[in-house]
A and B are shown apart, each in its own frame.
Chain A
Amino acid sequence: MKKFGLLLLALVLALGALGVGYAAWTDTVTIDGTVNTGEVCMSLVCPFSYLDNGQPPDGPDGTGYLVGTSHPSADWNASSTGTAAFVNNPVHMTKNVGWITTNCDDLTSPIEEVVITLHNMYPCYYNHISFGITNCGTIPIKLDHVTFLDAEDVVLDTLTNDGYLALDLSKNQVNDVEIYWGDNFGDQIEPGEHWDLSFWIHIMQDEGIDFTQVQDFTFKAAVTGVQWNEYPLD
């Protein structure tokens, strides 16, 4: 019986050795490599510039607001409303009442959002706001559209071409602000280069219900660029 067990063991070992002998003939091609993905990146460029940006000097009686005809810090007013507001030349006033500030000084690149505050606005106030956007990515991009949103990020309107729009920020069915976005749709910027963008803004006279004079209104303009070879987006 012991001999029979030894015989079985020898058989198993022999079969195992036979199995090694059966390893098939093969040939293998090895693939190695690297992958890196590109980046679509836009950054706002500070500072912004404006047609009117002078903050009026403090004055107990408001006399400081009077700066004289064509003074560099004097306000500009639109001479009409609607698209004509941006066709006809604005009027250079004699007082410095409204002004604009940004939070640019607090930002570091890449800048995804700049807050522009229009102070002490009144009907007819007009300004031209200019700024830059740089391509901080590795892929050429084109300016596809600008979306205007309210403070709650609800989309109010979208521009895909140069054009005019009016916004009802007080939500009383009467427009408060009108804008003309001037340029650069479809233009492209290579990595490291930048666009100069601008828009005109005109404060309208909202005489709708529940409108009060002392209010804060917020809107956002989101500029969307797209990898150049997919412009325009569907």
Chain B
Amino acid sequence: MRKIGLLALALVLALGALGVGYAAWTDTVTIEGTVNTGTVDLVVEGYSGMWMWKIPGGDPDYKLSTNPAYEPTQVPEYPKPFIVAYSCAAQTTAGATPAPVDDSVTVTFNNLFPLLGADGRATPWEADFECHYVGSIPVKVMIEEIKIEPKTGDDDLSGLTITISAYTMLGESKVWTPITPEELEGLQIHYCDRVRFVVNILVPQYATEALNEPNMGQNGTVTGQIKVIQWNEYEAPGY
């Protein structure tokens, strides 16, 4: 019995010695952190256009306004002023109970005719909307498509010209700066920058009725897409 006790004691000591032999020196560096992905997000925040008022008895008897709330003063004893033609942008809505459609703009160009600017030169009708870039990743602007149809048949709108121009309010700037269509393609914008896109339709004016008449009384559609892409993956058209 004593022998068994000694054996057990020896085993315990041996095991203890073994444990001490296995204890290595170590040190540990722990890595912890967070990941968040950026965003690419262009938000449409404002809409505007042009309204041509006819002011019977006025001098001048018309007013081209870019303010939707504008209403001319009525000249006494004359009929009320009315809107002859207009072009404007608005938020797209859809559904039985119309609800806004994200990232979608509806433009309307109604009863257009040749328009002359203050300099006497042909000037386009404009429908414009303001975009606010709220993404965290710099992007570049791409005009994917802008077109007016149809261009054949009874409603042939091939005589009209459609383009997109823009104004920018970048960085700390508080004023709108016009840029050319060439500058717009590939324009880089950052968080909080603003761009006002203008859809222009020019109705030409010719010296003879025969050339003007094909552009009268025509009906069609406008479609287009403006895309922004992370700046480092932008490829200019043609590449």
Residues of A within 8 A of B (CB): 22, 24-41, 137-140, 188, 190, 227-230
Decide if A27 touches B61 in the complex (CB within 8 Å).
no
Query: CA separation between A234 and B85, bound complex, in Å?
Result: 23
Contact A32 B114 (CB under 8 A): no
Chain A contacts for B217, CB-based, 8 A: 36-39, 138
Task: Give the most central of A27, A28, A31: most B CB within 10 Å.
Answer: A31
Q: Given A139-B85, A140-B54: A31 and B107 within 8 A (CB)?
A: yes
A33's closest neighbor in chain B, by CB?
A: B107
Is the contact region of chain B dominated by helix, strand, or loop, or is it mixed?
A: strand
Contact pattern, B 52-81, Cβ under 8 Å of A = 1, otherwise 0: 101010000110000000000000000100
Distance, CA A35 to CA B146, complexed state (A): 13
Cross-chain contact B109 with A228 (CB below 8 angstroms): no
- Is the pair A138, B111 in contact by a Cβ cutoff of 8 Å? yes
B225 at interface, CB cutoff 8 A: yes
Among A30, A190, A229, point to the contact of B225 (Cβ < 8 A): A30
Mark each residue of chain B from 218 to 230: 1 if its CB lies under 8 Å from any CB of chain A, else 0. Answer: 1111111111111
Residue of A nearest to B82 (CB): A190
Number of interface residues of B (CB under 8 A): 61
Residues of B contacting A228 in the complex (Cβ-Cβ under 8 angstroms): 54, 61-62
Cβ-defined partner of B62 (8 Å) among A29, A37, A137, A229? A229
A22 to chain B, nearest CB (A): 8
Among A24, A34, A137, A139, which residue has its beta carbon within 8 angstroms of that of B221? A34
Cβ-defined partner of B104 (8 Å) among A29, A38, A227: A29
Contact yes or no, B230 A26, CB < 8 A: yes
Nearest 10 CB-CB pairings of A with B? A33-B107, A24-B233, A31-B224, A38-B111, A35-B109, A39-B217, A39-B216, A33-B222, A25-B40, A36-B219
A228 CA / B108 CA spacing, docked (Å): 23
Q: Which of A22, A28, A35, A138 contacts B148 (CB 8 A)?
A: A35
- Quick one: which of B84, B85, B127, B228 has the most chain A CB within 10 A? B84
CB-CB contacts below 8 Å: B24-65 with A: 38, 40-42, 44, 52, 54, 56, 61-62
Nearest opposing residue in chain B for A231, CB measure: B61
> Given A37-B112, A38-B113, A229-B62, are A32 and B221 neighbors across the interface (CB < 8 Å)?
yes
17 contacts between A and B (CB under 8 A): A24-B233, A25-B38, A27-B41, A28-B103, A29-B42, A32-B107, A33-B199, A33-B221, A34-B107, A35-B201, A37-B217, A39-B217, A137-B216, A138-B217, A139-B113, A227-B114, A228-B62
The distance from the CB of A102 to the nearest CB of chain B, in whole angstroms, is 23
Known: A31-B107, A36-B112, A228-B62. 12 other contacts (CB 8 A): A25-B229, A27-B135, A29-B225, A30-B92, A31-B224, A32-B107, A32-B222, A33-B105, A33-B106, A35-B112, A37-B113, A38-B113
Chain B's closest residue to A24 (CB) is B233
Q: Do the beta carbons of B106 and A32 come within 8 Å of each other?
A: yes
Query: Cα distance A39–B222 when bound, in Å?
Result: 20
* Interchain CA distance A185-B92 in the complex, whole Å: 45
Q: Are A139 and B111 in contact (CB under 8 A)?
A: yes
The answer to whether A36 touches B233, judged by C-beta atoms less than 8 angstroms apart, is no
